[in-house]
């Protein structure tokens, strides 16, 4: 039995990018790996790396819990929990900070990007965030970590830290492997197709949120930025808008990009966008229905309580071993 683990930050309503880069892949893996155990959590401590409105944060945490289930995660072999409810993340996060080098953190492209965009003070937590992420993973001895492309660099660092720890203190951690989805590893903004679709984007016209009005979603797809070439062909460099829509279509339908190219040969952008909009809206509609059931169900809290107990149990045992190896405490 292997452990598959992943998390999402509750910094807003999850987007189509989160869905295709992460959530949909979690469900697919869960269906394929029935013998393995899934630890999926809400990374609320990570959300605090940038300023949050406390009320909104609370509601985003709950929304994300309900969404995890609404997209189809099966509670049977799932430990669903909220990161901050398991204090060991913070302890191991600190230990990882003692292990990671400044230079390694400075090389993280997400940090460099965010630092550039942020007008007011950049918190030190934003800088040390990959150490906490490594702790999230190593605490549970996860073998597989499904994430989108933007998280691969952080995952590499988690591997480095696991190896460094094992080398210094003896074999303790499993060195985790990242799993990227086949398609949808990076969904870009519909208005700005060279940028990642991000729930914290300033302009929401290019971003599709899983809980927004279905007509609005259709409109956003139909007004996605394309090019003047008029040909449905995958070319990220010269046709980023159309290529992004093709990626979305492929990830939604399970079709290969090549198949989409031949299916839409000679077809106009308008018709293609219409089809993309339909396939997206159809799937999101189903998710929204299930979301409404989960968000109002007392079973959600029951699952979160069970998840917390289970995660605490595993984390507590692991921390005992770690303290012993590192020699701090009594």
Catalytic positions: 114, 196, 199
Report how many residues bind ligand AMP under the rule CB under 6 A.
Answer: 18
Q: How many residues does the chain have?
A: 330
Q: Among ligand AMP, ligand TRP, none, what binds residue 187 when CB lies within 5 to 8 Å by partner kind?
A: ligand AMP
Query: 236: helix, coil or strand?
Result: coil
Q: What minimum distance in Å lies between the beta carbon of 46 and ligand TRP?
A: 5
Both tokens of 41, joined, read: 């959590």
Query: 291: helix, coil or strand?
Result: helix
User: Exactly one of 4, 5, 21, 241 binds ligand AMP (CB under 6 A); which one?
Assistant: 21
List the end-to-end C-alpha distance of the chain, in Å, as a whole number. 33
Distance CA 87, CA 81 (A): 12
Q: Which is nearer to ligand AMP, 194 or 299 (CB)?
A: 194
Binding mask 171-210 for ligand AMP (x = CB under 6 A): -------------xxxx--------xx-x-----------
Question: At which residue do the structure tokens 């040390």 appear?
Answer: 128
Restricting to residues 285-304, name those near ligand TRP by CB under 6 A: none
Q: Does 174 bind ligand TRP (CB under 6 A)?
A: no
Q: Which residues pair with 4 in a beta bridge?
A: 38, 144
Task: From 73-81, 129-137, 183-191, 251-259, give the range in contact with ligand TRP by CB under 6 A.
Answer: 129-137
Q: What minimum distance in Å lies between the beta carbon of 322 and ligand AMP?
A: 26
The distance from CA 249 to its chain's CA centroid, rounded to whole angstroms, is 19
- The continuous run of DSSP H or E covering 39 comes out as strand 37-42
Binding mask 132-161 for ligand AMP (x = CB under 6 A): ---------------xx-xx----------
Q: Does 88 bind ligand TRP (CB under 6 A)?
A: no
Q: Among ligand AMP, ligand TRP, none, what binds residue 145 when CB lies within 5 to 8 Å by partner kind?
A: ligand TRP
Q: Which is nearer to ligand AMP, 146 or 307 (CB)?
A: 146
Binding mask 37-66 for ligand TRP (x = CB under 6 A): ------x--x--------------------
Q: Among ligand TRP, ligand AMP, none, what binds residue 241 when CB lies within 5 to 8 Å by partner kind?
A: none
Both tokens of 307, joined, read: 């998840």
Q: Which is nearer to ligand AMP, 9 or 165 (CB)?
A: 9
What 159-166 contacts at long range (C-beta under 8 Å, 24+ apart), as own/partner pairs, is 160/104, 161/96, 161/99, 161/100, 161/131, 161/134, 162/134, 162/138, 164/99, 165/99, 165/138
User: Exactly one of 145, 161, 190, 252 binds ligand TRP (CB under 6 A); which one?
Assistant: 145
Report in angstroms the alpha-carbon separations of 8 from 98, 271, 274. 24, 34, 30
Name residues whose C-beta falls within 8 Å of residue 252's C-beta, 6 or more positions apart in sequence: 20, 276, 279, 280, 283
CB of 82 within 8 A of CB of 44? Answer: yes
Q: Which is nearer to ligand TRP, 87 or 216 (CB)?
A: 87
The maximal CA–CA distance of the chain, rounded, in angstroms, is 73
φ/ψ of residue 227, rounded to 5: -150, -175
Report in angstroms the alpha-carbon separations of 101 from 46, 56, 105, 172, 299. 20, 34, 7, 20, 43
Q: Among ligand AMP, ligand TRP, none, what binds residue 17 when CB lies within 5 to 8 Å by partner kind?
A: ligand AMP
User: Exactly one of 20, 64, 100, 133 binds ligand TRP (CB under 6 A); which one?
Assistant: 133
Contacting positions for ligand AMP (CB under 6 A): 8-9, 17-18, 20-22, 147-148, 150-151, 184-187, 196-197, 199
Contacting positions for ligand TRP (CB under 6 A): 5-9, 43, 46, 133, 136-137, 145, 147, 151, 154
């Amino acid at each position: 039995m292997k452990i598959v683990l992943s998390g999402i930050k509750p910094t807003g309503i999850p987007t189509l990018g989160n869905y295709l880069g992460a959530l949909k892949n979690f469900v697919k893996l869960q269906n394929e790996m029935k013998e393995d155990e899934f630890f999926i959590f809400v990374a609320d401590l990570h959300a605090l790396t940038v300023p949050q409105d406390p009320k909104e944060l609370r509601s985003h945490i709950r929304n994300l819990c309900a969404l995890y289930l609404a997209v189809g995660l099966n509670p049977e072999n799932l430990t669903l929990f909220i990161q901050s409810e398991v204090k060991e993340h913070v302890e191991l996060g600190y230990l990882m900070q003692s292990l990671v080098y400044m230079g390694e953190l400075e090389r993280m492209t997400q940090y460099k990007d965010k630092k550039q965009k942020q007008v007011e003070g950049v918190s030190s937590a934003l800088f040390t965030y990959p150490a906490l992420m490594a702790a999230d993973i190593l605490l549970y001895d996860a073998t597989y970590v499904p994430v989108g492309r933007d998280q691969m660099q952080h995952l590499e660092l988690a591997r480095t830290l696991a190896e460094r720890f094992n080398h210094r203190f003896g074999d303790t951690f499993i060195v985790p492997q990242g799993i990227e989805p086949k398609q949808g590893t990076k969904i870009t903004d519909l208005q700005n197709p060279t940028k990642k679709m991000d729930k914290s984007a300033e302009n929401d016209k290019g971003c599709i949120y899983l809980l927004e009005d279905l007509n609005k979603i259709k409109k956003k797809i139909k007004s996605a930025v394309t090019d003047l070439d008029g040909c449905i062909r995958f070319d990220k460099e010269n046709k980023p808008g159309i290529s992004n829509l093709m990626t979305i279509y492929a990830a939604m339908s399970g079709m290969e990009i090549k198949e989409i190219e031949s299916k839409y040969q000679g077809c106009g952008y308008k018709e293609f966008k219409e089809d993309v909009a339909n396939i997206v809206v159809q799937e999101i509609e189903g998710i929204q229905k299930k979301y409404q059931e989960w968000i109002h169900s007392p079973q959600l809290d029951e699952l979160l309580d069970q998840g917390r107990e289970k995660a605490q149990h595993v984390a507590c045992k692991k921390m005992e071993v770690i303290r012993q190896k590192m020699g701090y405490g009594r």
